[in-house]
Structure 1
Amino acid sequence: MIKRVQSELSRYLRTETVGGALLLIAAAAALVWANSPWSASYHTLVETHLNISALHLDLTVAQWSADGLLAVFFFVAGLELKREFVVGELADPRRAILPVAAALGGVVAPALIAMVVGGDAPGMDSGWAIPVATDIAFALAVLAITGSRLPLGARVFLLSLAVVDDLVAILLIAILFTASMSFAWLGVAIACCVAWALAQKARLHTVFFYLPIALVCWYALHEAGVHPTLAGVALGLLTRVRRDPDEKTAPATHLEHVVQPISAGICVPLFALFASGVPLNGSVFGSLFTDRLALAIIFGLLIGKTVGIFGTSWVLIRFGLAKRPTGLGYGDMFALSVLGAIGFTVSLLIAELALADVGQTSIDLAKAAVLVTSVAASLIGSALLLRRGRVHHARHDADEPAPAQGEGSTK
């Protein structure tokens, strides 16, 4: 069972490398397009309304990508997290507590630093939430490319950390950016979750049941005033991860196999395309290191994330409250903590929500701060991972027994 789970996880992470590359290409394309002579066409596309009048859904293309496409992304993340906690390495409570606690530390520390640095700057009443999220796809892509020599425990730790981190961020979105809540629609969403769980228990496999339930759950949360991406996480966590004797694969494994390429290849890149088009003129760059909101995001992400994740992990391991991931040293943990400062997808989403009443200039500045910090974290983290990879490679060579006398290559 463990070998099968590890094999599936490795396959997923290899796919994430491709997804991460597509994400970067889409973000770069958005930046070039938004700063080109054709920038007006980009903003026209992003602000175009797609109206489904029968359902009272009148959202822009950017809103559809943030509310709809990211729900698919978080569904896959929920599936992965559920499987790790049930049949993966995190089934051991003392191993599971580490990424969960580290994720919470990586939320609290950036928020506190952002509050201190930002002070009473416009938008900081909710802008402190911008640096609390780690981008799963981006961080895993960097790890897969530059940290391939690290033990599998590094990938499991970062994946679990990032999923819990983003789950907390989504809960913050639901709490902070819900102006009014319809408890009737919230009840419908809960009923959908219950129906999904019961169908899983009854071993129902037809897509013609689950797809309508998922769509209704998403719509109900939207109408309830709660950010609908929460539907993806909830349904992913309610999906069964253990395989019955008469099943080839568990439902979670099958759904991940089907949905993950759609998420990594279509949903996340399209969100990046519609969210990353920030004007990078002299005014924006000039304000990055002088504006208190931008500085709050930069310090919150780069310093707060690293200190929060690594500091929490060190304390728990040092006092015997949690186990260190298999094969990892403190140097590895620090490098992974730096990758936690990559706050692309959800940070951009929170920036749009938190600063909606402040103005587009502040939103663009916040997005630029997120992008610059994420690039810096990926470069620093990559350098640290490459160094740690050489250490592990040298250690592996030293531990490998010398060939017996007479052994050699065959012609």
Structure 2
Amino acid sequence: MSRNRHLLNRVASVATKMLGGEAAAGVLLIIVAIAAMLVANSPLAHEYHELFHGELGWTPIPKLDNLHLWINDALMAIFFFVVGLEIKREVLEGELSSAKKRRLPVIAAAAGMFFPAIVYLGIAGTSMPEQRGWAIPAATDIAFAMGVIGLLGKRVPPSLRLFLLTVAIVDDLGAVAIIAIFYTASIKLVWLIAALIVLSGMIALTRMRVNSYLAYIALALVLWFCVLNSGVHATIAGVAAAFTIPIRVNKGGDSMLLRMEHALVPWNSYIIVPLFGFANAGVALEGIGMQGLVDPIPLGIAAGLFVGKQVGIFSAIFAADRIGVAPRPEGASWVQLWGMSILTGIGFTMSLFIGALAFPAYPHLIEEAKLGVLTGSLLSSLLGYGILRFAPKHRAVAAPA
């Protein structure tokens, strides 16, 4: 009887960890990814494809004529809006607010984007269209990576948890810049000018200390519509709008930015990102098969995420610590830092998103890219979790040779 009770307690403890706190969003993404893969390779595959890619009977915006476009161009603009709020908060008041604080995360994130791109190009080659996928393995999924960290509980020191979050935020900023610069279609100047005018209006509201949520939301929607028609990807509007939201604290110790962020994070974590994952992670293996993993694009992406990320970030931390540029996170051993570096290879949301932008004229390459993203993310999550689970808890005294 006591043995059964002990087993039930263990199951309850694991369930609590999985369904609560920062682990919940990561676990939900895992479930969503598995569900999408199963449906896409089941008798319901046609219905799955038609649900997201079938033409809508009516749409208020002709440019968005299927559910997949509404998710990727509209709902994901909200995702990027929240990312923008997080970046602004961290830069002005958080872990990126001073040169000393941001030095190591910026160095690590930069290396964590450069090395995966080099690995990808070394495998996939530099010819077109394969070359356009270089940025796919350069991004880290915050929710997924922090979800794995959440499952580990107190086995991960707070300094390492905070460092991973900060690196992922800098990584997101880099991914946004890459999307804006390298994955922008032909520019429609009139719409771009209109977008800049609206953005200037939002900046003016901030300078005039306007505290109307409705005014910012209305202008943000107009900005999104202008950017959508400008040729720049619509999600960039989300980040641009977020940067205009006031962070000044009122008498109650609160701010518009914090209120918006707190209100939108649950929607982001439990509705928008899972819906995006379900719509984009379904890889139809028919015609590709698991042997497709050795094709240049999926192999390059998987290797970029699994090998490039950990090599880039860990070597950057080690070099910065050894030459005295920036010390490694306090209380974290080198083994734990290695495990954390592996977890940054979980690309998922941002990698899937960039994959869709990289090969718009080649649907079969988008499917191959998905396979590479899912494989690299799975390997990174399993090995990263395993290393952090069994790593010594105390900080190592000496650096590795």
- TM-score of the superposition, structure 1-length normalised? 0.85
Between 1:263-272 and 1:19-28, the stretch displaced more is: 19-28
Partners of 2:51 and 2:153 in 1: how far apart? 37
The answer as to whether partners of 1:111 and 1:300 remain within 8 angstroms in 2 is yes
Deviations for 1:250-281, whole angstroms, at most 9, x for unmatched residues? 22211111111111111101100100111134
Matches within 5 A, 1:53-132: 55-120=61-126, 123-132=129-138
The answer as to whether partners of 2:332 and 2:394 remain within 8 angstroms in 1 is no
1:285 lines up with 2:274 in the alignment: no
> Among 337, 360, 364, which residue is 1:361 paired with?
364
Q: Give the corresponding residue for 2:268.
A: 263
Q: Give the corresponding residue for 1:303.
A: 307
Following superposition, the deviation at residue 372 of structure 1 comes to 1.3
Aligned residues: 379
Partners of 2:244 and 2:336 in 1: how far apart? 32
Deviations for 1:149-195, whole angstroms, at most 9, x for unmatched residues? 32322232222211221222222222222231123322332333333
1:274 lines up with 2:276 in the alignment: no
Between 1:360-369 and 1:142-151, the stretch displaced more is: 142-151
Partners of 1:58 and 1:161 in 2: how far apart? 33
Partners of 1:18 and 1:194 in 2: how far apart? 38
The answer as to whether partners of 2:87 and 2:173 remain within 8 angstroms in 1 is no
Partners of 2:151 and 2:283 in 1: how far apart? 27
The answer as to whether partners of 1:121 and 1:292 remain within 8 angstroms in 2 is no
The answer as to whether partners of 1:95 and 1:323 remain within 8 angstroms in 2 is no
The answer as to whether partners of 1:123 and 1:293 remain within 8 angstroms in 2 is no
Deviations for 1:333-368, whole angstroms, at most 9, x for unmatched residues? 22211111001011112222212223x322212211
The answer as to whether partners of 1:196 and 1:235 remain within 8 angstroms in 2 is yes
1:334/1:65 CA distance change after superposition, 3 Å: same
Partners of 2:179 and 2:86 in 1: how far apart? 21
> Among 387, 395, 400, which residue is 1:384 paired with?
387
1:215/1:317 CA distance change after superposition, 3 Å: same
User: How large is the RMSD of aligned CA atoms in angstroms?
Assistant: 2.5
1:362/1:264 CA distance change after superposition, 3 Å: same
1:315/1:287 CA distance change after superposition, 3 Å: same
- TM-score of the superposition, structure 2-length normalised? 0.87
Partners of 1:282 and 1:182 in 2: how far apart? 38
> Among 325, 329, 333, which residue is 1:325 paired with?
329
Q: Give the corresponding residue for 1:36.
A: 42
1:350 lines up with 2:350 in the alignment: no
Partners of 2:115 and 2:270 in 1: how far apart? 32
> Among 213, 223, 228, which residue is 1:217 paired with?
223
Matches within 5 A, 1:133-212: 133-212=139-218
1:340 lines up with 2:340 in the alignment: no
Following superposition, the deviation at residue 324 of structure 1 comes to 2.7
Partners of 1:376 and 1:190 in 2: how far apart? 42
1:371 lines up with 2:377 in the alignment: no
The amino acid across from 1:236 in the alignment is: A
**Which consecutive unaligned segments of at least 5 residues does structure 2 have?**
1-18
Following superposition, the deviation at residue 53 of structure 1 comes to 6.2
> Among 316, 333, 344, which residue is 1:312 paired with?
316
Partners of 1:100 and 1:14 in 2: how far apart? 30
Partners of 1:200 and 1:327 in 2: how far apart? 40
The answer as to whether partners of 1:52 and 1:58 remain within 8 angstroms in 2 is no
Deviations for 1:273-329, whole angstroms, at most 9, x for unmatched residues? 10011113484201212x112211121111111111122222222222224334333
Partners of 1:77 and 1:159 in 2: how far apart? 12
Following superposition, the deviation at residue 50 of structure 1 comes to 4.1
The answer as to whether partners of 1:338 and 1:377 remain within 8 angstroms in 2 is yes
Secondary structure of the residue that 2:43 maps to in structure 1? coil
**Which consecutive unaligned segments of at least 5 residues does structure 1 have?**
1-12, 396-411
1:67/1:392 CA distance change after superposition, 3 Å: farther
Partners of 2:277 and 2:332 in 1: how far apart? 32
Following superposition, the deviation at residue 393 of structure 1 comes to 10
Partners of 1:211 and 1:196 in 2: how far apart? 10
Deviations for 1:96-132, whole angstroms, at most 9, x for unmatched residues? 1211221111111111111111125663120222111
The amino acid across from 2:320 in the alignment is: L
Secondary structure of the residue that 2:64 maps to in structure 1? strand
Partners of 1:130 and 1:394 in 2: how far apart? 34
The amino acid across from 1:197 in the alignment is: I
